[in-house]
Amino acid sequence: MQLGLSLDIEAFSWHIWETFIILQSILPINRFFMCLILFAINPNYEYKLILAANRDEFFERPTERAEFWGDEEKILAGKDLRKEGTWLGVSKRGRFSAITNFRPPQASVSYKRSRGELPINFLESDDSPEDYLNSIAENKIEYNGFNLLVGDLKEYYYSSNRIKVNQKLGNGFFGLSNEKLNCSWPKVRDGRRKLARLVEKGFSNSDLYKLLEDTGSSEELSASFIHGENYGTRAMTILTIDSFDNVLFEEKTFGPLGKFEGLTSFGFMLEE
C-alpha cells in the first residue's frame, strides 16, 4: 500500500511539473525565472571559451564583486556573503564553473545546503569534471533545484538535480537559464543564435554586453536584463579564454532599477 501511494505521489508530481512547463510557455510565468548564461565552447581557432552571463538576485542579499579568493589568489569569482559561495568563477588553471537555480513549481526549502558551494568546490578540487559530478551524485538531493556547469578546457559537463544523467558538452553554442540547458525560452533560444552570429563576424566586449542588455518587449518575453526595485540583474559577466590561454574576466555590477555601480576587469594567463 505504501509503495502504491509513493508511485501515485510521484506521478502526480510529474503531472504538476508537465503542466507548469506548458503554462510557462504561454503565460508570463517565466518572467520570474531570470538568470542567463550564454556560452560557446571552442567556437573557432581563436577562442576556447566565450561566455556572457547575467546574475539576477534580490538586492538585499549581501554580495562582493568578483575578486581573487584567498592568499594564493587562484580562484576568481564573485562572492555571496550570506552563504560564502559563488554563482560563477574561473581558476588560474583554466577550471570554470557556474550555477543557476532551477525553479520548479514548489518553493525552495530554506534548510537545504547552499548551491553556491558547488562551483567553488569544483574550482578548488583536482577532480576532472566528470569525476567531480560523480562525487556529488548522491548528495544532489541535499540542495534545492540547480543547474551546474563545470569544465577544465579539456571537457565540459552540464548537470542538474532535475535530470538523471550528466551531459558531456561538445563544441558549440549553449544557453542556460533556470530551466534545462538549451531550453526553448526566448532569451535562451535567441541568445544562442545571436552569440553564434557575433562569433562568426567578430565581436568586442561591448557586443557581448549588448546580448545581456535586452529588457524585453512584452509580458510574454522573458527579459535578459531585469530592472527591478527589489529583485533584478545585479551583475553582468564576460569571460573569454583565447587559444593562447589569455583570460579576460569582466564584471559590471548594478543596483536597484538597473543603476550602474561599477566595472571590474581582470586579465591573466593560465598557469601550467
Q: Which CATH class is domain 33-269?
A: alpha beta
Q: Which residues contact residue 269 at a Cβ distance below 8 angstroms, ignoring those fewer than 6 apart? A: 244, 245, 246, 247
Cell 587559444 locates to 243
Kindly report each contact of residues 198-203 with a partner whose C-beta sits within 8 Å and lies 24 or more positions away, as own/partner.
Answer: 199/40, 199/43, 199/44, 199/47, 199/50, 199/173
Instruction: Tell me, yes or no, if the pTM score tops 0.95.
Output: no
Distance CA 180, CA 255 (A): 28
CA neighbor of 159 nearest in space, from 141, 177, 171, 147: 147
Cβ–Cβ < 8 Å for 211, 194? yes
End-to-end CA distance of the chain: 59
Distance CA 94, CA 41 (A): 13
Distance CA 148, CA 145 (A): 10
CA neighbor of 122 nearest in space, from 71, 83, 157: 157
Reading the block at residue 237, the C-alpha cell is: 559577466
- Average pLDDT over every residue of 171-183: 97
Tens of pLDDT, residues 216-263: 644 444 678 888 999 999 999 999 999 999 999 999 999 999 999 999
CA neighbor of 47 nearest in space, from 150, 129, 153: 153
Cβ–Cβ < 8 Å for 218, 198? no
If one compares 62 and 25, the residue with the highest pLDDT of the two is 62
User: Residue 251: which H helix or E strand, with range?
Assistant: strand 246-254
Q: Which residues of the chain form beta strands (DSSP E)?
A: 36-41, 47-58, 63-69, 75-80, 88-91, 96-101, 146-151, 156-160, 167-169, 172-176, 231-242, 246-254, 260-269
Q: Give residue 72's pLDDT band: very low, low, confident or very high (50, 70, 90).
A: confident
pLDDT exceeds cutoff 90 at 80: yes
What are the boundaries of each domain within the chain?
Answer: 1-32, 33-269
Q: Which residues contact residue 28 at a Cβ distance below 8 angstroms, ignoring those fewer than 6 apart? A: 219, 220
Distance CA 110, CA 133 (A): 23
- pLDDT, residue 266, reads 98
Reading the block at residue 69, the C-alpha cell is: 579568493
Tens of pLDDT, residues 103-156: 765 556 666 899 999 999 999 999 999 999 999 999 999 999 999 999 999 999
DSSP string for 215-226: --SSSSS--SS-
